[in-house]
Structures are given as C-alpha cells and as structure tokens.
Amino acid sequence: MFSLKDKKIVLGISGGIASYKSAILARRLIDAGAEVRVIMTSGAQAFITPLTLQALTGNPVHTDLLDTAAEAAMGHIELARWADHILIAPASANLLARLANGFADDLLTTVCLASEASLFLAPAMNRVMWQNLAVQNNARKLLERGATMFGPDEGVQACGETGAGRMLEPEAIRDMLIDKLGIEPGDNRQTILTKPLSTSATESSAANQPSAYATHHRSLHGLNIVITAGPTVEPIDPVRFISNRSSGKMGFAIASAAIKQGASVTLITGPVALQTPGLVKRIDVESARDMHKAVLDNIPKADIFISVAAVADYRIDQIAEEKIKKSDPGMTLQLVRNPDILASVAAMPERPFCVGFAAETQSVEEYARGKLDKKKLDMIAANHVGQAGDPVFGSDNNSLDVYWANEGHHHIAPAQKKQVAAELLDIISERLTESRH
C-alpha cells in the first residue's frame, strides 16, 4: 500500500542549483507509488541532465514545446490531460513570474496553462530574491489562484547567505504532497522515510532524514490566520514613549510556520526589527489603539486569531504636543486603560478560533487559566518569564504550556521559537478540528 499509488504527477524542474534535489524527489514520489513524468526547462538542464531523470523515472523527459518527435509521442496537451497533479520543484523566481502572468513560452508553463491538474510549487532562490516584492506578489497571485506553496525553507543557501529561500528537502515535499492530497499516511510513510536509494550518486545520507516539516501531519491549508506580534508603543510626547521588551520573534515565528503549513497569514505588528516572512501580509502599527483598529479591519475573514503581541494595558491620557520640559523635580503621568483587543475579538458573535498568550512570572497555570476564562478564549499559551537565564523576551528560544477547557494541557518543551511555533500550530489545528465536530 503506497500513499501516492496511481497518482499521475508531472514533476516540473526549473533552473536553479536546488534542481539536483529533484532527482531524489522523483525517486521519492515513485517509491510512494506515483507515476512520474518529468518536464525540464532549459535552465534546469544547465544544472542536471534529462538523462538522469529519464533513468530514475523510466520515462522520456520532456523538454521542448516545439519538438515534433516528442509531440508525436506524447504531445503537450496530452501531458496536460494526463496529469492529476503538477509539482514544480524547484520553482525559480523566473518560473513564478511566468506562471503568475500566464506565459506559455516553454513546455512547462504551457502544460500548466493547459492543465486542470492541481498545482504545487516548491520555490527555491536567493533569500533577497524571495523577499523581493515582485516575487512575493507573484507567489501571492498564484496562491490566490489555488496553487499550493511548499516552503521555501530557511537556512544556509548555496550562495553562502542564510535565510528563507532554500528548497525543502525531497522527503518533506513528498510528505506535504501526501498531506495535501488528504491521504492517510499509514505506517508506510516511516518505511519510505528510512528506505535508502539503491543507485543515485547525488544522494547524501542526510537526505534520508525526515526534516522538521516531515513530522507534521496536520495542515492549515486554506485557513486565514490573523496574528499580532511585538510590543505596542504608547507616546508620552513627540520624543518619548512607554513600551515593553517584546521583540516580535515569537509572533513572527508563528507567522512563518503557519505559511509553511499552507495558511494565509496577516501579521499585525508593533515596532520590531525583524524581516517579514515570505508570503505574509504585514501591517505595521504603533499603539494599542492602532493595533486594535488593524485587527478589527482584518478579523472578518479570519478563521484563527493568535494574539501574541505584548499589548500595553495602559496609555497616556493626554499626549503632550510639545516635548515635556524638566522644570519640576518630579512628575506624574496619568494613564488610562487601552482596549483589550483579544477580549473584544473573542466577544464577537461570529468569532474566529481565539488563541491568547500569557507571559507570567509566577503561578503560571492559575493566571493563564484565569485569562482563558475571563477573555473567553479557545486556548492560551503561557510562557514563564523572568526566570534567571531564560529571558523569553527577545530570545530565539521558548517553551510553552498550552491550556484549554476541561483541564486540557500540552507542554511544549524548550526549543527554538520556530519549532515551538510549529508545535503550537499543530495543537491549534487539532483543537480547531475538534471544536468543529
């Protein structure tokens, strides 16, 4: 019993150094039972030969739109009709641009246009290219048209830079495809993950290791998630403000993990020095009231609201128009309460699944559960802050205790915030599914 049995997959390979991984991906898909036909762009052929893919798949590799012999064997329309799914890995910036704009200037883009098959894209490019607004807009356009994006992954790139842009490992792509097609993994997935390739010279032993993503079997595909992150800033006068130590790292890590799990993410953030994760729609705000407005504007389309921001509970009652002079020996600032953004969303009649955060220095469970009940949340994630050697605020690491009704509890062990974020999303996904039954 193979997870991709009888699935007809066109594997598109565009130009990029990551195309060497596509040979392993082809084998992984075949190992999982899929029938694979490969289309390579001219760019891809500069990195890897069609012969390699032909040997691995046992089928002729398609490269030219205007090749009469190839067209006579299996024409591009026939190939487009044959495919149940088209998976393009790597998908270069150029390929995304051509697809997003409906080009049909080579075999791969033409088959995509002519096919009713579902489209899956595993982008791979330099991190600055991936961040470029033009690339982000193209990727977003394709998502809006129903394509599914796998990755990109973060880490060291072939160009020597570090960031988001690497193609996901073949095993992770195969597992995400299996998830998206709604196939129950069964026991054979573990078998596939550990099964060595018999022949490929390009494969390293690391390629057989399941990546972090490969262990996630839940999906947020198609869900809209609104996340708040970072601190809010409450002005005193034109040069001074009150704020807090939140760096935004936890909220940004959740946004990034949610994109990887297939969600559409709106990230509303106070002032932070962080790069926007790819495909995330970011809205910058300063004060709690700005954040409240941005949340209310975006909440109607949200399935899930995750309130990670450290929102100032109070603001200055009267903001001085001019810089306050230090004429008196002391001064008193009159503060007034800010709106509780999370509680206001949770009180809506048509509300999304609401997840709060709590940063507590003591009695963590008691205070966190108190907020869960008082704000009428579906779930709360508590971090124990203020402990020696465990800063949480500004740190790359965290651990969480997640609470929900009826004594529900899950401990997320200390790890990098991006791993903690992925685990938290798995719990949210599970609880959301339960709440809908």
Binding site for ligand PMT (CB under 6 A): 228, 230, 246-250, 288, 307-311, 313, 338, 340-342, 356-359, 371, 383, 392-394
Task: Quote the radius of gyration of the chain (alpha carbons, Å).
Answer: 25
When the beta carbons of 264 and 307 are compared against ligand PMT, the nearer one is 307
22 vs 338, which CB is nearer to ligand PMT? 338
- Six-digit token string for 27: 């084998």
Closest residue by Cα to residue 77 from 116, 120, 118: 116
**Cβ of residue 289: shortest distance to ligand PMT, in angstroms?**
10
| Least Cβ distance, residue 16 to ligand PMT (angstroms) | 33
112 counts as catalytic: no
Q: Closest separation between CB of residue 265 and ligand PMT, Å?
A: 16
Contacts 24+ apart (CB under 8 A), 404-409: 404/372, 404/378, 404/379, 404/380, 404/431, 405/372, 408/379, 409/365
Residues 173-195: b if buried by 16+ CB within 10 A, e if exposed: bbbbbbbbeebeeeeebeebbee
Residue 62 vs 315, nearer CB to ligand PMT:
315
- Measure the CA–CA gap between 299 and 42, rounded to whole angstroms: 44
Residue 433 has, within 13 A of its CA and on its CB side, a CA count of 9
Beta carbon nearer to ligand PMT, 85 or 249: 249
Which position among 159, 347, 348, 405 bears the catalytic label? 159
Least distance between ligand PMT and beta carbon 427 (Å): 15
Alpha-carbon distance 62 to 27, whole Å?
17
Could you write out the DSSP letters of every residue in 237-281? SSS-EE-----SHHHHHHHHHHHHTT-EEEEEE-S---PPPTT-E
61 or 421: CB nearest ligand PMT: 421
Which residue has 């051509």 as its token pair? 98
**Pairing verdict, β 314-316 and 335-337:** antiparallel
Closest CB to ligand PMT among 121 and 299? 299
Q: Is the omega angle on the peptide bond into residue 277 within 30 degrees of 0, that is, cis?
A: no
Nearer to ligand PMT, 168 or 359 (CB): 359
- Distance from chain centroid for Cα 157: 18
Least distance from ligand PMT to the Cβ atom of residue 433, Å: 22
In terms of DSSP H, where are the helices of 117-157?
Answer: 127-131, 133-144
Nearer to ligand PMT, 224 or 307 (CB): 307
> At closest approach, how far in Å is the CB of 238 from ligand PMT?
24
C-beta of 235: minimal distance to ligand PMT in Å?
A: 16
Sign of CA dihedral 429, 164, 275, 277: negative
CB 263 within 8 A of CB 224: yes
The two tokens of residue 360 are 């507590």
Q: At its nearest, how many Å lie between ligand PMT and the CB of residue 134?
A: 30
Distance CA 206, CA 25 (A): 14
| Catalytically active residues, by annotation | 159
